[in-house]
Structure 1
Amino acid sequence: MSSIIQLLPDHVANQIAAGEVVQRPASVVKELLENAVDAQATDIKLIIKDAGKSLVQVIDNGKGMSVTDARLCFARHATSKIRHAEDLFSLHTKGFRGEALASIAAIAHMEMKTKQDQDELGTHIVIEGSKFVSQEVAVLPKGTSFSVKNLFFNIPARRNFLKSDTVEFRHVMDEFQRVALAHPNIHFSFYHNGSEMFNLPATTLRQRIVGVFAGKTNEKLVPVTEETEIVKVQGFVSKPEFAKKSRGEQFFFVNDRFIKSGYLHHAVMAAYDGILKDGLQPSYFLYLQVPANTIDINIHPTKTEIKFDDEQALYAILRAAIKHSLGQFNVAPILDFDRDANLDTPYHYKDLEGETPTIQVDSTFNPFEMSEMPKKQMASASSGGNSYSYKKVEPTASWESLYVGLKNDTEDIVSHTFENEAVTASLFNDNEVEQAVYKTYQIHKKYIVSPIKSGMVIVDQQRAHQRILYEQFLLNMTVNQAASQQLLFPLNLFFSATEMELIRELQQSLVTTGFVFEESTQDHVVISGIPVHITESEVSIVIEQLISDLQDGVPENNYSQNDTIAKSMAKSLAVKTGSYLTEKEQDNLVNGLFACKDPNISPFNKPTFITMRVEDIDKKFAL
């Protein structure tokens, strides 16, 4: 019987390894940028085309490689970072497993140019699907340049699973931002389809954050600093008033490596407890330095998850450091029971001398002369003089006379009222009288109860309003010409580069809803007109909610885009649970819901109302 188990060929093994390392163009960007950082480069340039599907190129001025190293770096498990197994617990570099270049070369056309500073000539290597096509000597500058073209050319199934260019570009942008934020001492530049997206010179940490996210980022940053034997924490968090619904600007770096940690994120949220509204997320850029032997970074293929030796201590230190910073910079309220803020001296009165008050007394004043005024003075007072006069009012002796006849008048009013109600009832038939007593009631500022013939209907006010707004917006976007109200003063809204790319893709669909864009730059938009159903203060809320809902990608066809925008705007603008509604607003909401094409469910496929029959209520009272 022949053997069943066989060794895989190298190119097949590389393609399998590529499935773990290379998931999309952003994975290639991450590996190449980290290699450039490990090469001690001070200037790194990223160039992509078609969101990285056609080309990903990284050029650096690092140490470069010799001829032998240039050939060997494409072999599996070839690395310059570790020599022994113990080295895994004292890593200070990015890549170390020796699979990245081999995996990328297995599923793309790859070209490498490298040269060391002491060498006169460099090496130029071309690889296609793990096969070396050529290797030759070339005149090159110091450093290394990797070009990755036609990603997944030999695995069409993987290529078909890639998302749209907008989604893939956003993932590339995320990876670039993570590496750029981790190393503010390196000059980074980023080009997409020939356009410059970023040009970030070497600078301080705060300026790097402002350079990446632009806008009014500098205004919202609060510094965080704490140093203990376990961890050294530094970085910035945002002020509570700048919190957003999306979780885009949240970064943890451990030993200059970006990580994801739900446990540490919970520590940050605990520090903001009590000063943030529900559903809002703060921005943070936190850098943790810990001993290399206290963490394990080899538990995930992309090395974005880390195992800490003492997570509880890190949690407590991080939460305390952020709380201290928020209080120190007067962002969070401070409780001091021994201090009365009303007694604080204003700054402009701090150094002024107090003036002694003066008392003026009228020595000629006699209060008893008023009751014995001469008649001439009384006359002059009544004619508009400066003297005072008092008129003595005699008390009413017969106060009981004020209530004479009151009982008879009350009886007339009551009898007259009953006569009018009888006349009114005679004007309507029984059904109309029954409808007239029907009223809507609001329960716990969440549900609206309305009687019907068979029993009663209970409406969820938030879901019902979402359904009404959703159908209105969708009708305006697809059939009617959306009305727009012009603003007296245009709105300037600032966003990050990733968010601006998303807004630009949705701009045409937003115009059909009634938005008017006057200007669109790299970090902000100017809006001069808004839909009639939206107030000026709600514009930023609507757009932030839209960005949050489209984090996973923008639908490609227009109908799906319109549907997504209508749902997002309905979610933002619908009346929320806990809002008080007047009786007229309750009636309008109920009538508007049952005028919809599909009143049974909300835009998010949840029931908008339930009905209870009289028979069902009777069963509750049955013995």
Structure 2
Amino acid sequence: MNRIQLLDQATANKIAAGEVVTRPSSVIKELVENAIDAGATSIYVEIKNGGMKEIYVSDNGGGIHPDDMALAFRRHATGKTRPGDEMFGLSSLGFRGEALSSIAAVSRVKMVSRMRGAETGQGIELEGGEVVRQYPIGCPEGTGIYVNDLFYNTPARLKYIKSIGAESASCADGVGRLILAYPEISIRYSNNGSPLYHSPGTCLADAILAVYGKEIYDNLIPVQYDGKGLRVTGYIGNGTISRRNRSFQTTIVNGRVVRSAKISNAVSTAFSERMMIGKFPFYVLSLTVKQERMDANVHPQKTEIKLLDEDAILAELVSAVESALSPKSDLRRLTLPQKTPKEQDSLASVSEKTEIPEEYKRMADDFAGEIAMPAFPKKGGFRVKDAPDASLDFSPIQMPSQPLKERMEKEPVEQPKESQAKPAFSQGVPMVADQLSLPVDHPRAAGSLPVDLRIIGQAFATYLLVQSGESLMIIDQHAAHERLNYDRYLAQMERQQVISQPLLAPCVVTMAVEEVQLVLDHKDIFLSMGFDLDTFGLGAIAIRAVPSVFSGLDLHAAFLDMVEQFRSLGKASPLAVVRDRIVRACCRMSIKAGQPLGHEEIAQILQMLKTTPKLTCPHGRPIVMIIAKGDLEKNFKRIQ
């Protein structure tokens, strides 16, 4: 039987290093956090060979006292925590005193430091956690530390290290998140002598520009929220810069970069219906809670935290993000790619070499003779000689102040004679006014679309073309109508006036006894959603009426899915339970792509879109794309 014995310091440090120092990026994190705790305003980080050969971190912080240089590498030696301090309420990033000892235990370390106001600095070198030498040295104020040959004395750890490229990427990601967490500190980062990041130390927007570049910077939405127990600042991205993973999400709580699936899910909840399934929003959010309501001492690397009143904080976070989002943030701007000078030269050379055939020239002359087109048309626009159809009027359209259906009931509309030509975009196509008769029956956010809209027409029987000021708006007619149908049902649910459709015969759904009881316990919610149901024997439910949007669906399967949703979600809102089914139903009953629309149908869609709170379909697809006039002029070389 083995007797219990106390481990020696070197063995204990190596064990601690296995928790704190897992790869080069974790070393950088600990050293940069030490620099931040030391009051640094400028930090420089450099790595070589993915950080395995060398990591160098220097700062202009307060420095270390010469007498404390060796002590700093002892386990549980720290200047940030004092005996008797509570773990709740800690404000410093470090507090255990394990980082330097763990790093030194598995590498060769050299550190120089000079306190502010001191004449000289002090240097120290260690191998495997043992001090090799200590000496006075001339150096700038602050601290610089070299970490060489990481895991040189623990070869078993090397098999868990990934490629040089993967480790370099991990280091860059870690430094980038520290830049975002402390935008007021100037941080520079280099890899093998090549500068990658240089944050100016000014504000968060500039830090995001330094880390992610202009594409992300141009699509940011600011967040500013002050609640009862939570303060939120930072930026979220619009749907243009969403990703298929959470790599573009940075969560900062009281200055600590943390991983939190619950916080990420809360932000995704706020983006509900604005983000496609499988996509995750970009965000850099800094959450501030009272220090005593957060415990950072739950993970060796301090990348996880525990919050008191977590549910209340997450609910406030959802409100904070939702308040920052608006219909204008749903608009997607299309930037037309411009040809490079090389491509332009290539086109020009082809044009110069290509001779136009004589027959094409004669055809062009004949065509010019058929059409009378002034070089500078008057205000009324171009006039086509002997135009067969004079009914096309592209003058600006006055948008109706009330829904089209109400105006049609009050004002008789003169029906065109059969001999009259129909608009080009609705010729030979049955009108779909019945599909569009959706009353705007709920108060919603105003200003979703601009007021100055001029209908141009329809492209590919799928996209509505509308001019607004100096922009061309392209609207997906199916996505738009789907959003309008969905909003109508939500409004009915809010007022508990959902239109129900009685069934010719009750639909009996057999289920377990506990599931029947679950339905009965939430019967009021089912009633508010438009269901009429009751028990049918011991293990079945009889459904006598369903929401009108459910017509045509497999009712048996849909109801069982909803019961399962209740079971999994627990205390859930009616919408959370029925949402997926409603979305499918609204998609099925909406105008389809390839369905031509007339002028009045387009006008009615636009009128109703002006009141919708979101310009995305319930699946998260964008409804409106915008092309600026300036982008068109640049591509046509009208402007440079």
Change (3 A) 1:205 1:4: same
Partner of 1:189: 188
For 2:266, the aligned partner's letter is A
Q: Percent identity?
A: 38
Partner of 1:601: none
Superposition pairs of residues 70-81 of structure 1, within 5 angstroms: 70-81=69-80
Partner of 2:606: none
Indicate the larger mover: 198-207 or 292-301. 198-207
Mapped pair 1:64 → 2:63: yes
Shift of 1:282: 0.9
For 1:307, the aligned partner's letter is K
For residues 479-516 of structure 1, the C-alpha deviation after alignment (integer angstroms, 9 at most, x for no partner) is xxxxxxxxxxxxxxxxxxxxxxxxxxxxxxxxxxxxxx
SS of the residue corresponding to residue 23 of structure 1 reads coil
Is this contact kept in 1: 2:238–2:329, CA < 8 A? no
Structure 2: distance between partners of 1:226 and 1:347: 34
Is this contact kept in 2: 1:298–1:306, CA < 8 A? yes
Partner of 1:54: 53
Partner of 2:93: 94
SS of the residue corresponding to residue 19 of structure 1 reads helix
Which runs of 5 or more structure 2 residues have no equivalent in the other structure?
A: 333-439, 455-467, 469-640
Structure 1: distance between partners of 2:284 and 2:40: 23
Indicate which of 317, 337, 353 corresponds to 2:442: 337
Structure 1: distance between partners of 2:136 and 2:450: 77
Structure 1: distance between partners of 2:180 and 2:329: 27
Shift of 1:70: 1.4
Which has the larger Rg? 1
Change (3 A) 1:281 1:345: closer
Partner of 1:105: 104
SS of the residue corresponding to residue 287 of structure 1 reads strand
Partner of 1:346: 452
Structure 1: distance between partners of 2:449 and 2:12: 76
Partner of 2:154: 155
Change (3 A) 1:328 1:153: same
For residues 375-420 of structure 1, the C-alpha deviation after alignment (integer angstroms, 9 at most, x for no partner) is xxxxxxxxxxxxxxxxxxxxxxxxxxxxxxxxxxxxxxxxxxxxxx
Which runs of 5 or more structure 1 residues have no equivalent in the other structure?
A: 351-623
For 2:96, the aligned partner's letter is R
Is this contact kept in 2: 1:111–1:125, CA < 8 A? yes
Change (3 A) 1:327 1:71: same
For residues 159-207 of structure 1, the C-alpha deviation after alignment (integer angstroms, 9 at most, x for no partner) is 2321100111111111101111111111111111111111211111111
Is this contact kept in 1: 2:327–2:448, CA < 8 A? no
Shift of 1:246: 2.7
Mapped pair 1:259 → 2:258: yes
Is this contact kept in 1: 2:113–2:123, CA < 8 A? yes
Structure 1: distance between partners of 2:186 and 2:38: 14
For residues 98-117 of structure 1, the C-alpha deviation after alignment (integer angstroms, 9 at most, x for no partner) is 01000111110000000011
Shift of 1:36: 0.6
Mapped pair 1:294 → 2:399: no
Partner of 2:479: none
Is this contact kept in 1: 2:42–2:59, CA < 8 A? yes
Determine which structure has greater relative contact order: mean sequence separation of CA pairs < 8 Å that are 6+ residues apart, divided by chain length.
Answer: 2
Is this contact kept in 1: 2:235–2:283, CA < 8 A? yes
Shift of 1:258: 0.5
Shift of 1:328: 6.8
For residues 133-169 of structure 1, the C-alpha deviation after alignment (integer angstroms, 9 at most, x for no partner) is 1000111110000100000111111123211001111
Shift of 1:344: 7.8
Is this contact kept in 1: 2:328–2:448, CA < 8 A? no
Name the TM-score, length of structure 1 as normaliser: 0.54
SS of the residue corresponding to residue 216 of structure 1 reads helix
Is this contact kept in 2: 1:222–1:329, CA < 8 A? no
Partner of 1:238: 237
Shift of 1:7: 1.1
For residues 506-556 of structure 1, the C-alpha deviation after alignment (integer angstroms, 9 at most, x for no partner) is xxxxxxxxxxxxxxxxxxxxxxxxxxxxxxxxxxxxxxxxxxxxxxxxxxx
Structure 2: distance between partners of 1:121 and 1:341: 64
Structure 2: distance between partners of 1:297 and 1:172: 22
Partner of 2:227: 228
For residues 13-34 of structure 1, the C-alpha deviation after alignment (integer angstroms, 9 at most, x for no partner) is 1111111110011111110010
Shift of 1:337: 3.2
Shift of 1:332: 8.4
Partner of 2:29: 30
For residues 435-487 of structure 1, the C-alpha deviation after alignment (integer angstroms, 9 at most, x for no partner) is xxxxxxxxxxxxxxxxxxxxxxxxxxxxxxxxxxxxxxxxxxxxxxxxxxxxx
Partner of 1:270: 269
Change (3 A) 1:139 1:341: closer
Superposition pairs of residues 596-615 of structure 1, within 5 angstroms: none
Is this contact kept in 1: 2:46–2:57, CA < 8 A? yes
Mapped pair 1:171 → 2:193: no
Shift of 1:347: 9.2
Structure 2: distance between partners of 1:336 and 1:55: 66
For 1:34, the aligned partner's letter is E
Is this contact kept in 2: 1:326–1:332, CA < 8 A? no
